[in-house]
Amino acid sequence: MSGEFLITKRILLTREGQPALRRILVFTHTGRKEAIAAAIETCGLLHAAGVRPVMRKKDHEAIQTASTGLRLQIDILGQDCTIEQVDLGVVLGGDGSVLRAAELVRDASLPLVGVNLGHVGFLAEAERSELADTVHALVIGAYTVEERMAIEVQVWRDNVCLAETWALNEAAVEKANRERMIEVVIEVDGRPISTFGCDGVVMATPTGSTAYAFSAGGPVVWPEVAALIMVPISAHALFAKPLVVSPDSIMAVEILTRSEAGAVLWCDGRRTIDLPPGARIEVTRSDKPVLLARLNTTPFSERLVNKFELPIQGWRGPADEDERRPATTALPVIGPGFQSVEPHHKDEPGIPLVARDEMK
């Protein structure tokens, strides 16, 4: 279940104590020279450790074109092996690259580990400078696997399902035209919450809370929290606050028909469909999570500080248990036998405070 963690150790050894032959799928952004260089280095490190690197055909062709002297044996996914025969996926790039890889491996329940080559890289587990150590940890199986909640998304109109898909980060309903806002009704568990004009509405997972939803003013939700998030974008309303609801709730956005403004649905910034007036978008928790490999146990709060470079000067931290001292004063709890003081009215400063005995 999402919000809970599936912790495993994958250590595959031969009788001689050496790593058994494994296959690790390498994803890379072939449009960037830095990503291609990282992929070549990763494949070399895996090959030297006795692990067979696997790549998609188009990625392999890009690598061969960029490095004519590369003589490593690399399996081609779909030709030399199936995705079910792969143990792990390594993604070289930013969060967008991780989302692209998740599309391919989700049905196979293949864990992914991201090596950040982008900017923030919240979904990445390691940085480019840590590539060699990362590959070594993966080879010896020194990682755990964490479940991340995904969402199922359906688009309805006139009781007909126009489309269905899923998302790891968010499903975002956005206005199609810059000059015209859309009018929507937001809903939770079959009950309307509010109606307003806006630029859109983001429905996100805890993983996606630090992505589009965060940029729209939504809360940061720790990944292990089981919840769904709804965040209006530039809403023209007094009550258009971000909502955090039960993971078992059904969130919905209806596009009103009283204006002709069109909308667009984006899922993880990858899959899209045009939304006509009258369309209804429903989001529920998916039964199939995305698996992310973790190399360390760094708390999410520390990752948050590092990724956003948050100022933490002045923090002293909690004292050690053996250095803690008992409270110097115990504050009384007001109850029977205690007296409370009624404050005087702010416009009558000359009236003294009067004690009232609550036992009377």
Which positions are annotated as active-site residues? 95
| 179 annotated to bind ligand | no
| 158 annotated to bind ligand | no
| 32 annotated to bind ligand | no
| 280 annotated to bind ligand | no
Residue for token pair 């692990």: 51
189 Rama class: left (phi>0) / alpha (psi -120 to 50) / beta? left
- 3-state helix, strand, coil split of the chain in percent (to 5) is 20, 35, 45
| 199 annotated to bind ligand | yes
| 325 annotated to bind ligand | no
- What residues contact 148, with CB distance under 8 A and at least 6 apart? 2, 168, 205, 206, 207, 223, 289, 290, 291, 292
| 170 annotated to bind ligand | yes
For 121, counting Cβ atoms within 10 Å of its Cβ (0-12 exposed, 13-18 middle, 19+ buried), the class is buried
Q: Taking the alpha carbons of 150, 264, 97, 20 in that order, is the dihedral positive or negative?
A: positive
| 137 annotated to bind ligand | no
N-term to C-term CA, the chain: 55
Element (H, E) at 132: helix 131-139
SS3 of residue 180 by DSSP: coil
Q: CB atoms < 10 A from the CB of 224, how many? A: 15
| 116 annotated to bind ligand | no
Type of residue numbered 147: E
| 214 annotated to bind ligand | yes
| 218 annotated to bind ligand | no
Binding-site residue set: 95-96, 100, 169-170, 180, 199, 210-215
Binding-site residue set for NAD(+): 95-96, 100, 169-170, 180, 199, 210-215
